[in-house]
Amino acid sequence: MIRPVVHATSGSPLGSADPRQEGPTDLRLVPPALAAWVSAGVAVGSSGGWVIASLVLCGLVTMGVLGVEALRMRRAVGGHGARGSLRMRAGRVAVATTLLCTTAALGSAALHTADLHRGPVPGLAREYGRATVELEVTADPRPVRARVTGNRAGPPGTVVEADVIRVTTSRGEVTQTRTPVLVLAREAEPGTGAELGADAEPGMGAEPGMDAKSRPQVRTGPESEARAGPEREADVVSSSGRAGPQPHHPWRALLPSTRVEVDARLAPPIRDGGRVAAVVRVPSGAAPRVVEGPSALQRTAGALRSGLRTATGGLTPDARALLPGLVVGDTSRLTEELDEAFRATDLTHLLAVSGSNLTIVLILLTGPPGRAMRAERGGLAPRLGISLRGTALLGGALTLGFVVVCRPDPSVLRAAACGLIVLLAIGTGRRRSLIPALAAVVLILVLYDPWLARSYGFALSVLATGALLTLAPRWSAALRRRRVPPRLAEALAAALAAQAVCAPVVAILAARVSLVAVPCNLLAELAVAPATVLGFAALAVAPMSLALAKGLCWCASWPVEWIAEVARAGAALPGAGVDWPGGWRGGVLLAAVTVLLVVLVGRAARRAGVARLLAHPATVAGCALLFLLAVVRPAPLTRVISGWPPPGWRVVMCDVGQGDATVLATGPGEAVVVDVGPDAARVDGCLRSLGVTRIPLVLLTHFHADHVTGLPGVLRGRSVGLIQTTV
C-alpha cells in the first residue's frame, strides 16, 4: 500500500490544519549525536596523547562491531527467527553507528587541537617572547570593559579572535603556520601606562595590580528631578560603558578575513584547554598594519551592518544599542547596566545571534513556532498563495542571507541550522522529521567545530530548539483544551518550555534562578517581532536609501524601548531572582526540581482539572497576588518578615565588597550617599532595600575604583540633585 502524501491528501495546496502523522518520532540519530557531543567536549579539553589513544581504541571497536555484523549477515540463511534477527541487527547497527560518530568526533577534535600545539606560537607564548605576527581576523572585534581589582581599574580595550598566519621572530626566522590566538589591544588613554594582562579575557580589561585608577567625570549643579537614564549616566561616568561618543580605535574597524601585521608580545592563555594557543598583547597605541583587505562577502556584510549602525545613530542610547543586537547580534554599543538587566531577566537570547533572530523573520512566513508539529502554518505564505515547499525554499533564501550578514562563523551557522528545522517540517509536513533533523544538526556542527561541544551558548540553543519542537506544541495544545486563547497558549507554552530546559544551564553559569524570566519574555515578545522585522528592513534598504532606513529605525525604536524598559523593570524588582548553587551540582539539582514540578503539575492537572480551577477568578487572582508579592517584596511586608530596614534607621554601610558605600537618611525615601563602591548592582540593591528613591547629594571622597565605579547603580531610577567631590 502506498503511503499518502500529507500535502496531497490535505485537500488544500497549503496543507491541512492537523495532518495525520506517520508513526512515532524517529530517535535513531539521537544517541550518535549525544555521543559525538560528549566525546568532542571531553577530547578538546584533554591532552593529545589521550585523544589519539581513545581515537584508535574507538576505531578498533567500531571495526570489530562492523566486522561481526558482516559475518552474521553472511551466515544468515532462511527466514527462521527473522523478526528477532532484525531486532538484534538493528541494535548492533545502532551501536556501530554511535561508535562511528564517536570516532569521527574524536578525530575532528584531534585535528582541531593539533593547531594549538604545533608551530612556533606556543613556544613563544611560554617564553613571553616578542615577534612580528601576521594575523587573519576570524570574528568581529569586541570591546573590553575595564576590570576593577581592589582600588584599581584596568583600561578598556579590544579583543580580536584571529589566526596567526606567519611569525617573524626577533632573530629573523620566518615561519608559516595557522594557529588560533586572542589579540588584546589596549586603548591609548592619557595618564595610563599599563598594558592589558596576559590573563585577560573577554569582559576583563587588565590583570590585577594595574596602576590605573578610575576617574569618573562628574558634574555639579542645582537639584533636579531628571531621570537617571542612559543619557544622564553617560554624562556622569565616562568609564561606565554608557552609550556615547567613543574614541576611535583602529582594531574595532577590522572585518573578518582581513589580514594585518603587528609587533607584539605573546603570552600563554589564562586557562589550559581553551581554543587559543596564545594571547597576543599589542602595545599601547599600536595600530594594525593591513596586509590584505577583507573578502568581497565580508565587505558586503560589513557594509550592511555599517549601514544599520549609521541609521541608528540618531536614536536614543537604548535603541541605538539594542536594535543592531536584535537584528544581527551587534552588541558593541550595549551598556554594562543594560546588559546586566537583560541577564537578570533571561532576555540575553534576544541579543545573541541565535535561531530566535532568524525565527522572528520566518514567522512572517510560517506563523508561531508552536505550530511546528502541523503541516498548516500561519503567517504571510498562505495569504499570498505560496505552497508549503515554496515557503520552505523562500525561508531557505532568507536563512542564507542571514548567514551572510551575520558572518558565517560557527555560532551563526548553529543558529541557521537550528532555524532550518522549522523549514524542514514545513517542506515535508512530517512531525517525526524534527527530532532527527535537530540531532543531525548537532552531529554536523560538532564535527565541523568540536569546540561547540563545550559552548554553553550551543547547549542553550539546542535545548531551547528541542523544547520548542517537543514540549511547546504539547503544552500549547493542553492549554488550548483548558480554554486558554490560542495565541496566548502558544506564547506561554514556548516561554515555559524554553525556560524549563534552559534554566539549569543558566544556573550553572550564574548561580541564580530568575523568577521574572517567563513574564518578562512574554512582555518582550510583544515588541520583538516588529522591532526585528523593521530592523531587517532598515538593514536591507540602508545601502540604497539611508533616509528611509533611518525612518524604519525610528519606527523600530519604539518597540525596542519597550524591551529595554521591560528588562530594567524586571531586573529592578527585589525578588527578580533567587540565589542558587552554581556549577554542575546546582544545574543538576535545578533540573531535578524542574522535572519534579512538571510531573506534579501534569498529574494535578489530570486529576483536579485545571479548567475548573481557572473557572474561578478568585483562585487565579490569589495565585497572581502571591507571585507579585514574591517578586515585588513591598517594604512593609519585607520589614515584617525580615526586620529590614530597621525602623528609624539613620546610617547604613552597604555591603559592596571591597570599598565603601555609606547611606545617611535625610527623610522618607531620601538619603545622602557617601561613596558608591565598585559594584553598581550591589549598591543599587542596597538602596532599593532601604527604599531610597531621592538622593539630594552624592559625595565621592576620592577617585579609587572601589569608591566610585558603582555610581551608575546609585543613579539608576533615582532623582539625584548634586554630585560633589572632596578633591
User: HSE of 710 in the Cβ direction (CA atoms, 13 Å)?
Assistant: 32
Instruction: Indicate whether 490 pLDDT > 60.
Output: yes
Mean model confidence pLDDT for the chain = 77
Farthest-apart Cα atoms in the chain, separation = 98
* Vertex 690: Cα angle to 230 and 515 (nearest 5): 70
Which of 217-231, 531-545, 622-636 has the least mean pLDDT?
217-231
Highest mean pLDDT pick, 121-130, 248-257, 324-333, 357-366: 121-130
What pLDDT is stored for residue 81 in this prediction?
47
Give the integer Cα–Cα distance in Å for 60 and 53: 11
Integer Rg of the chain from CA: 28
pLDDT tier, 592 (very low <50, low <70, confident <90, very high otherwise): very high
- Residue 610 maps to a domain: no
Instruction: Indicate whether 3 pLDDT > 90.
Output: no
Element at 135 (helix H, strand E): strand 130-137
Residue 508 and residue 488 share a domain: yes
Q: Which residues lie below 8 Å from residue 80, measured CB to CB, with a gap of 6+? A: none
What pLDDT is stored for residue 238 in this prediction?
32
pLDDT tier, 210 (very low <50, low <70, confident <90, very high otherwise): very low
Q: Among residues 577, 596, 615, which one ends one of the domains?
A: 596
Instruction: Indicate whether 337 pLDDT > 90.
Output: no
**Domain tally, the chain:** 4
Closest CA to 446 of 401, 413, 470, 407: 413
pLDDT of 498-535, one tens digit each?
889 999 998 898 888 888 888 998 899 888 888 888 99
CB 41, CB 453: distance < 8 Å: yes
Residue 426 and residue 349 share a domain: yes
- Residue 8 maps to a domain: no
pLDDT of 190-205, one tens digit each?
444 443 333 333 333 3
pLDDT of 276-326, one tens digit each?
889 999 987 788 999 999 988 888 888 999 999 999 988 999 999 999 988
- Residue 182 maps to a domain: yes
How far lies 289's CA from each of 250, 259, 292, 303, 664, in Å? 10, 9, 9, 21, 54
CB 495, CB 476: distance < 8 Å: no
What pLDDT is stored for residue 433 in this prediction?
64
What pLDDT is stored for residue 474 in this prediction?
87
What pLDDT is stored for residue 355 in this prediction?
62
Give the integer Cα–Cα distance in Å for 423 and 275: 32
Give the integer Cα–Cα distance in Å for 21 and 157: 55
Q: What percent of the chain is predicted at pLDDT more than 90?
A: 18
CB 280, CB 135: distance < 8 Å: yes
Helix 317-328 with 355-366: angle, nearest 10 deg: 80
pLDDT average, residue stretch 16-29: 57
Element at 317 (helix H, strand E): helix 317-328
Instruction: Indicate whether 97 pLDDT > 70.
Output: yes
DSSP H helices, 573-606, are 583-604
What pLDDT is stored for residue 370 in this prediction?
45
What pLDDT is stored for residue 418 in this prediction?
66
Give the integer Cα–Cα distance in Å for 556 and 561: 9
Instruction: Indicate whether 22 pLDDT > 50.
Output: no
Instruction: Indicate whether 674 pLDDT > 90.
Output: yes
Q: Provide the grid cell at 612.
A: 475548573
Give the integer Cα–Cα distance in Å for 230 and 215: 19
- State the first-to-last Cα distance of the chain, in angstroms, to the nearest integer: 90
How far lies 250's CA from each of 226, 247, 512, in Å? 36, 10, 38
- Whether the full predicted model's pTM is greater than 0.85, yes or no, is no
Closest CA to 182 of 155, 145, 209, 144: 144
**Burial zone of 607 (CB within 10 Å; 0-12 exposed, 13-18 middle, 19+ buried):** exposed
- Residue 221 maps to a domain: no
Q: Provide the grid cell at 88.
A: 538484534
Instruction: Indicate whether 13 pLDDT > 70.
Output: no
Q: What percent of the chain is predicted at pLDDT more than 70?
A: 72
For 670, the domain range is: 651-725
What pLDDT is stored for residue 24 in this prediction?
63
Q: Among residues 578, 596, 614, which one ends one of the domains?
A: 596
Question: To which residue does cell 502571591 refer?
Answer: 626
What pLDDT is stored for residue 32 in this prediction?
92
Mark residue 675 as left, alpha or beta (left: phi above 0; alpha: psi -120 to 50; beta: remaining).
left
What pLDDT is stored for residue 648 in this prediction?
82
Q: Provide the grid cell at 722.
A: 548634586
Which of 5-14, 59-68, 207-216, 657-666 has the least mean pLDDT?
207-216
What pLDDT is stored for residue 50 in this prediction?
81
What pLDDT is stored for residue 135 in this prediction?
94
Amino acid at 208: P
Residue 415 and residue 346 share a domain: yes
Residue 133 and residue 72 share a domain: no
Residue 60 and residue 164 share a domain: no
pLDDT tier, 541 (very low <50, low <70, confident <90, very high otherwise): very high
Give the integer Cα–Cα distance in Å for 356 and 363: 10
User: HSE of 315 in the Cβ direction (CA atoms, 13 Å)?
Assistant: 28
Residue 83 CB coordination number (10 Å): 8
Closest CA to 359 of 335, 377, 374, 339: 377
* Vertex 335: Cα angle to 334 and 337 (nearest 5): 135
What pLDDT is stored for residue 702 in this prediction?
84
pLDDT average, residue stretch 325-353: 84
Residue 101 and residue 126 share a domain: no
CB 208, CB 187: distance < 8 Å: no
Give the integer Cα–Cα distance in Å for 465 and 449: 19
- Residue 642 maps to a domain: no
Residue 154 and residue 98 share a domain: no
Q: Among residues 268, 294, 320, which one ends one of the domains?
A: 294
pLDDT average, residue stretch 580-593: 89
pLDDT tier, 16 (very low <50, low <70, confident <90, very high otherwise): very low
pLDDT of 236-280, one tens digit each?
333 333 334 445 678 888 998 999 999 999 999 887 777 888 999
How far lies 687's CA from each of 223, 506, 616, 632, in Å? 19, 27, 39, 15
Residue 273 and residue 258 share a domain: yes
Question: To which residue does cell 547497527 refer?
Answer: 93
Residue 389 and residue 258 share a domain: no
What pLDDT is stored for residue 248 in this prediction?
60
Which of 47-56, 108-117, 435-444, 654-663 has the least mean pLDDT?
47-56
